[in-house]
C-alpha cells in the first residue's frame, strides 16, 4: 500500500512540475522576442562543436525531443532551448553552422563544448567567441547597408540579449592538472576578469542587456566522482566532492560581485546574475521529490552503478549503454543534464527566484 501511495505521489508531483513549466512558459511568451547572442561551453552548445570541428556527437544524444543528434550533449533540449521557447523564440543556431540558418535573424550561439574563459587546447575560449561575434556583427551590418536582405540591423544588436554561461571548465581543468585547492582558488580572479572583459567589449558594442549564469556543483558530476580517488577526498552529505563544490561556490561569489560592480559602473546596462548552482544543488539534494533516482549516476555511459561513467567509453560511443527512461535521471552522460532535469531548471530560472536582481526573463521582450 505504501509503495502505491509513493507511486501516486511521484506521478502527481511530476504532473505538477510539468504543468508548472507549461504555465510559466506560456505566461512568459512575447510577441516580439529579442535577438539573442549566447557565449559559453557545452552546457549551452546547440551544435557548435560538430559544425566547427566535425566532432561526432552520436545518438542516443538527442533521442528524446529531436529524435536525432543535433550536437547537443543531452537526450533532448538544453536549458537555453527552454529559455528560447519561453520567449516564443526559435532555437539558437550555432554561429559556425552556416547550413542551418545563413541569416541568423534571431541571433546566434557562439558556445562550444569544452570552452573556458582562459585559452587552452580547445580553440574557442571566451575571448575568441567574442571576436567571432565582432566579426559577425561587422559583416551583418555591411550586408544591411548593402540592402542584401533581412539581417539583424543596428537596433537589433542594441536591443539584443547577451547571455554568458561559462566557467565550469576553468575550474574542472584546474583540478584535472592536480592543482591544490588553494592553487585553484588563486586562478578564479583571472577567470572573472575574462568574463568582465567580455561584457565590457559587448557593452562598448552598445550591448545593454546581459544574462549571466553561474556554475553548478562540479563535485556532483558522475564524471568527476568516477575519475578521482575518493578515499583522498572529503564528500559532503550528498556524496559530492566538497573541494570541487567549494571552488565552484568561490567562483560564483566572485561572479556575483562582478555583476554588482558592473551594474554600478555600466549605469544604463541591465545585468542579471542567475544562481544555477542553487537550482542544480536543489535537484540533487531533493531528487526523490522531483521524481529522479540515482542523482549522481549517468543515464548514458559505461560501468554501471554508482556513477556509470567511463572516460574510455562515453555516451554515444561503442560499448556505452543508455537507460530506458531518461526522465528518471538528472544526469545524462556524466557531465550534462537530461531534458527532464533541464525542464525543471528552466521553470526555476523563469520564476526569477534565483535571479539577482529579480528580473523576469520576459523582461527582454521587445515591446
Active site residues: 42, 333, 336
What is the residue-wise DSSP string for 297-355? SBSEESS-TTT---TTS-TTSTT-EE-S-GGG-SBSSSSSBPHHHHHHHHHHHHTTTTE
Using alpha carbons, list the distances in angstroms from residue 153 to 162, 200, 228: 16, 21, 49
Closest CA to 249 of 284, 296, 214: 214
The set of residues, in sequence order, having a beta carbon less than 8 Å from that of 217 and lying 6+ positions away, is: 240, 244, 245, 248, 277, 280, 281, 284
Separation between Cα atoms, residue 14 and residue 8, nearest integer Å: 10
Closest CA to 209 of 365, 30, 326, 92: 365
Burial zone of 59 (CB within 10 Å; 0-12 exposed, 13-18 middle, 19+ buried)? middle
Separation between Cα atoms, residue 172 and residue 366, nearest integer Å: 37
Separation between Cα atoms, residue 172 and residue 74, nearest integer Å: 19
191: which 3 cell numbers? 577567470
Q: Which residue has the cell 501511495?
A: 5
Q: Which residue has the cell 585553484?
A: 184
Amino acid at each position: 500500500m505504501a509503495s502505491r501511495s509513493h507511486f501516486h505521489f511521484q506521478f502527481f508531483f511530476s504532473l505538477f512540475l510539468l504543468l508548472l513549466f507549461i504555465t510559466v512558459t506560456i505566461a512568459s511568451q512575447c510577441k516580439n522576442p529579442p535577438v539573442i547572442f549566447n557565449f559559453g561551453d557545452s552546457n549551452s552548445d546547440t551544435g557548435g562543436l560538430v559544425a566547427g570541428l566535425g566532432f561526432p556527437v552520436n545518438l542516443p544524444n538527442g533521442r528524446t525531443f529531436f529524435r536525432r543528434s543535433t550536437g547537443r550533449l543531452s537526450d533532448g533540449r538544453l536549458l537555453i532551448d527552454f529559455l528560447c521557447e519561453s520567449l516564443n523564440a526559435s532555437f539558437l543556431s550555432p554561429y559556425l553552422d552556416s547550413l542551418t540558418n545563413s541569416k541568423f535573424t534571431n541571433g546566434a550561439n557562439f558556445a562550444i563544448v569544452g570552452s573556458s574563459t582562459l585559452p587552452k587546447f580547445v580553440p574557442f575560449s571566451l575571448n575568441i567567441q567574442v571576436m567571432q561575434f565582432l566579426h559577425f556583427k561587422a559583416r551583418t551590418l555591411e550586408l544591411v547597408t548593402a540592402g542584401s536582405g533581412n539581417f539583424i540591423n543596428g537596433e537589433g544588436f542594441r536591443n539584443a540579449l547577451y547571455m554568458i554561461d561559462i566557467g565550469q571548465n576553468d575550474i574542472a581543468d584546474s583540478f584535472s592538472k592536480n592543482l591544490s585547492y588553494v592553487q585553484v582558488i588563486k586562478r578564479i580572479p583571472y577567470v572573472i576578469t575574462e568574463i568582465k572583459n567580455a561584457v565590457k567589449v559587448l557593452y562598448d558594442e552598445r550591448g545593454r542587456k546581459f544574462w549571466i549564469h553561474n556554475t553548478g556543483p562540479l563535485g556532483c558530476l558522475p564524471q568527476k566522482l568516477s575519475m578521482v580517488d575518493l578515499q583522498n577526498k572529503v564528500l559532503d552529505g550528498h556524496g559530492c566532492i566538497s573541494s570541487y563544490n567549494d571552488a565552484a561556490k568561490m567562483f560564483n561569489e566572485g561572479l556575483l560581485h562582478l555583476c554588482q560592480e558592473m551594474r554600478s559602473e555600466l549605469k544604463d546596462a541591465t545585468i542579471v546574475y542567475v544562481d544555477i548552482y542553487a537550482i542544480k544543488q536543489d535537484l540533487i539534494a531533493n531528487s526523490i521529490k522531483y521524481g529522479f533516482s540515482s542523482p549522481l549516476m549517468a543515464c548514458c555511459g559505461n560501468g554501471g552503478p554508482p556513477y556509470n561513467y567511463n572516460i574510455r567509453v562515453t555516451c554515444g560511443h561503442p560499448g556505452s549503454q543508455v537507460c530506458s527512461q531518461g526522465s528518471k535521471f538528472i544526469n545524462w552522460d556524466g557531465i550534462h543534464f537530461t531534458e527532464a532535469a533541464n525542464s525543471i531548471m528552466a521553470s526555476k530560472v523563469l520564476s526569477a527566484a534565483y535571479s539577482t536582481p529579480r528580473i523576469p526573463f520576459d523582461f527582454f521582450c521587445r515591446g
